[in-house]
Amino acid sequence: MSVGALLGLLLLQPCFAGTREERLAVVQFIHPGSEHEPDSADGRSWNTDAHRRKFLLQPGRYLASLESKPVAADLVFWGEFEPPTRLVRTFPETGGDMPRHLFTPDPVAFYPHDPPLMNTDPFVFGGRFFYSICKQNNRRGPTALQRLARGSVILFGSGRGRDRFVVDTVFVVADYVDWNLSNYRERLKDVVPPEYFHSTLEPIAYEMQVRNLTPSQTFRLYIGATFDRPCEGMYSFFPCRPYRQEANTGFARPVLRRPGIITDNLTQGQRLNPMPDAATVREIWEDIARQVLGQGLDLGVHAEMPRIRQVGRLGPSRRDTAR
C-alpha cells in the first residue's frame, strides 16, 4: 500500500478519537532557538552538534489570510533541517532575532557517523508534517507527549530573551503511529516517505544504538493535519514569506502571546495545557494564526520535499563514514 493510501485510511478516523489515557491539549514546546552558521563556503554539512534553527528557502504554498486559498511560491521560513544545506546568501548583520544566513536543503542519504548525525524533528516537508521523538521519553519512561489525542496542537518554538516565545511550526495532530527501535522500519515504511527515514528515523535509530539504549523504548510518530485534510478546520503551518531575491534581509520569528497557554519566560521543556473540547482548541489555533498574520507573515502550508542527491561537496568523506 502506498504512503498516500495508508494515510488516507488513517485519516478516516475521527479527529478527536482516542483512548481514555490520551489528552486533547495545546502544547508550548521549547526547542533550541540559535541559528546555524555555515561550516564551509558551500553551506552547512550534516549537523552533529546541538540542534539549531535555519532560515530556509524552498518551493511551497502559502496562505495570505485564513480566508484565502494556497498560492505557490518560493518561500523563506525558519525551521529545523539537520542534513546538509547549501548557502544561498548571507544577510547584513542587523541584530536581534533577524537571520544572518539563508540556506536551501541539499540532503544526502543517511550514513553512520561518529558523533551521530542529528535528526530533524519536527519535519515540515513533503505535504505532511511529522514529529516523532523529541521529549517523548525521560528517565522515568514515556512522557505525556506520547499521549496526545488527535486534534491537539503543538506550538514548536523558542524562548528568546526570557521575555518572549517565538514560533516556527504550528503542528495540528491528525493521526499517529506508535513505534520502537525494533519495529520502526516495518511499522512506518508505508506511512512516511523515504526521505523521512534518511533525515529523521535512521539518525534516531543509529544514535540510540550508539548509546546502547533498549530497543523496546517506545515513541509515537505524529502525522500533521493539512490544509487539504484539516482536523476540525485546523491545519499545520509554518510562518513564512514569499522569497524576493532583491530583499536584503529575512524576518524574525513571530512572537506569540496567550496568557494561560504560553509562558513568556520559558526557555526549555514544554507546557502541556489540557483542553476541554475541540471548540476551545480551534479558538486558540485561530488566535495563533491571526497573531502570525498580524506580524506581516503568511501561513506556509506546504514545502516541497528536498530530494536526496548523490554524495558530493557537502556529503560524507571516507573519514566521516568510518564507524
Per-residue pLDDT band at 128 (split at 50, 70, 90): very high
pLDDT value of residue 65: 98
> CA 208 to CA 116: how far, in whole Å?
9
Please report whether residue 163 resides in a domain: yes
Residue position matching grid coordinates 519495529: 183
Residue 259 has pLDDT above 70, yes or no: yes
Contacts of 7 (CB under 8 A, 6+ apart): 128, 175, 191, 223
Tell me the pLDDT tens digit for each residue of 203-241: 999 998 888 777 668 999 999 999 999 999 999 999 999
Joined together, the cell numbers standing for residue 88 give 544561498
Three-state DSSP class for 320? coil
Q: What percent of the chain has pLDDT over 90?
A: 79
In a domain, 18, yes or no: no
Confidence of residue 9 (pLDDT cuts 50, 70, 90): very low
- Average pLDDT in the chain: 90
pLDDT of residue 208: 87
Structural domain contains residue 235: yes
For 55-60, what is the mean pLDDT? Answer: 98
> Mean per-residue pLDDT for 174-192?
95
316 within a domain of the structure (yes/no): no
Confidence class for position 15, pLDDT limits 50, 70, 90: low
Query: Which pLDDT belongs to residue 215?
Result: 66
Q: Is residue 10 part of a domain?
A: no
Segment 55-69 shows an average pLDDT of: 98
Confidence label for 246 from pLDDT (cuts 50, 70 and 90): confident
> Which pLDDT score is estimated for 20?
47
Task: Please check whether residue 255 lies inside any domain of the structure.
Answer: yes
Q: Is a pLDDT exceeding 50 seen at residue 82?
A: yes
> How do residues 136-181 score in pLDDT, each as one tens digit?
998 888 999 999 999 999 999 999 988 999 999 999 999 999 999 8
| Domain total in the chain | 1
pLDDT, mean of residues 262-279: 95
Q: Is 298 inside any structural domain? A: yes
Listed range (8-22, 79-93, 173-187, 304-318) with the worst mean pLDDT:
8-22
Residue range(s) defining the domain that contains residue 175: 23-303
CA-CA-CA-CA dihedral for 44, 48, 49, 52, to nearest 10 = 50
Return d(Cα 239, Cα 191) in angstroms, integer. 26
What value does the mean pLDDT take over residues 97-115? 96
With a CB cutoff of 8 Å and minimum separation 6, the contacts of 279 are none
| Cell of residue 240, nine digits | 513564512
Query: Which pLDDT belongs to residue 310?
Result: 64
Q: Identify the band that residue 313 occupies on the pLDDT scale cut at 50, 70 and 90.
A: very low
Evaluate whether residue 7 is within a structural domain: no
* Cell numbers describing residue 225: 493535519
